[in-house]
Amino acid sequence: MSASPQDLLRQTGLGDYPLEVLSGGMIGQVTRAGPYVVKTHADPPKGMFQAEARGLYALMQAGIRVPQVYWASHEGLVLEYLEPGQPDWKSLAQMLCALHRTSAPTYGWDDLVFLGSFELPTGTGEDWTNFWAEHRMRPWLEATWTKLGRLGPRIEKILSSPLPSEGPTLLHGDLWHGNVYFAQSGPALLDPSVWWGERAVDLAMMELFGGFPGEFWRCYRELYPIPPEIRRAIPAYQLYYLLAHVHFFGAGYLGAVERVLEQVEQ
């Protein structure tokens, strides 16, 4: 079932506003309506928008600036519109270091987790290598197997390779630069895929697709140094996001998958 932004605003009783389509809707549509942002999808998976709302709330509880959620239903999401401000990479680094210093006893998430519109397995585990292989990598591997060709068996082969761990921390889960927003009130995070995992999962996405500038990384590493073994594991986590792009956007990402896979196999 799909709903228009006007439909959602009427359901919430928030009034009628002129609509402006915003950038960033690679999976669904993002529309500004006065003081609100309305997110919709032509055929939303069940629970996707509610999962995003729970993720935003979890980030907020951890002290992260996010847009306020006004309405979440199967049909869509109504959020606060944050007025744009100036980039502040130092404040972003401080905020993300605080996020990555949260802790939990196990990996995973008991509620629904989506990356884009793709549903990931729920549940938790204490063994990081096994959790990562079975609950995060294998679903993408199965979803993209027919597109991967000879890359598929090579990826499957590395799934049992042990991964270093620092312990479970709260992840944004899809932390490319497009999901960072500099508001007048300071840096904020958008479009999360929240669960408890290794911070290197976030670090991996932060280095893909343009990455974050040196100013950010200098501050982040000063506040929360990245051990060499964690640094070396980052390409393994980048495969997770690249397989997602193969699934959503096609074989044009296979070259990037192979380049990163070669780093993992070294």
> Are residues 27 and 132 located together in one domain of the fold?
no
> Are residues 59 and 152 located together in one domain of the fold?
no
> Are residues 113 and 167 located together in one domain of the fold?
yes
Per-residue pLDDT for 226 more than 60? Answer: yes
- State the alpha helices, DSSP H only, in 89-148: 89-100, 128-131, 138-148
> Are residues 34 and 107 located together in one domain of the fold?
no
| Domain end among 38, 63, 80 | 80
Q: What is the extent of the structural domain holding 232?
A: 89-265
SS3 104: coil
Check residue 135 and report its DSSP letter.
I
> Are residues 76 and 125 located together in one domain of the fold?
no
> Are residues 9 and 64 located together in one domain of the fold?
yes
User: 174 catalytic, yes or no?
Assistant: yes
Per-residue pLDDT for 25 more than 70? Answer: no
> Are residues 26 and 94 located together in one domain of the fold?
no
What is the residue type of 144? T
Check residue 67 and report its DSSP letter.
P
What is the band of 241 on the pLDDT scale with cuts at 50, 70, 90?
very high
Q: Which of 132, 126, 123 is nearest to 105 (CA)?
A: 126
Q: What is the pLDDT of residues 60-112, one digit of tens each?
A: 999 999 999 999 999 899 999 999 999 999 999 999 999 999 999 999 999 99
> Are residues 20 and 103 located together in one domain of the fold?
no
> Are residues 74 and 129 located together in one domain of the fold?
no
Radius of gyration (C-alpha) of the chain in whole angstroms: 18
> Are residues 53 and 104 located together in one domain of the fold?
no
Q: What is the pLDDT of residues 34-51, one digit of tens each?
A: 999 999 988 889 999 999
Number of structural domains found in the chain: 2
The pTM score is 0.94
Looking at residues 184-199, what average pLDDT do you find? Answer: 97
The catalytic residue among 7, 16, 88, 174 is: 174
Beta bridge partners of 183: 84, 186
What integer best gives the mean pLDDT of the chain? 94
> Are residues 60 and 184 located together in one domain of the fold?
no
| Domain end among 23, 54, 80 | 80
Looking at residues 175-197, what average pLDDT do you find? Answer: 96
According to the model, what pLDDT value does residue 4 have?
A: 83
* CATH code of the domain in which 38 resides: 3.30.200.20
Q: Which of 47, 105, 97, 102 is nearest to 77 (CA)?
A: 47
How many CB atoms within 10 Å of residue 117?
14
3-state helix, strand, coil in the chain (%, to 5): 45, 20, 35
* CATH code of the domain in which 131 resides: 3.90.1200.10
| Domain end among 27, 51, 80 | 80
> Are residues 157 and 260 located together in one domain of the fold?
yes
Residue found by looking up tokens 């096994």 in the block: 130
Looking at residues 15-23, what average pLDDT do you find? Answer: 83
8 Å CB contact between 40 and 2: yes
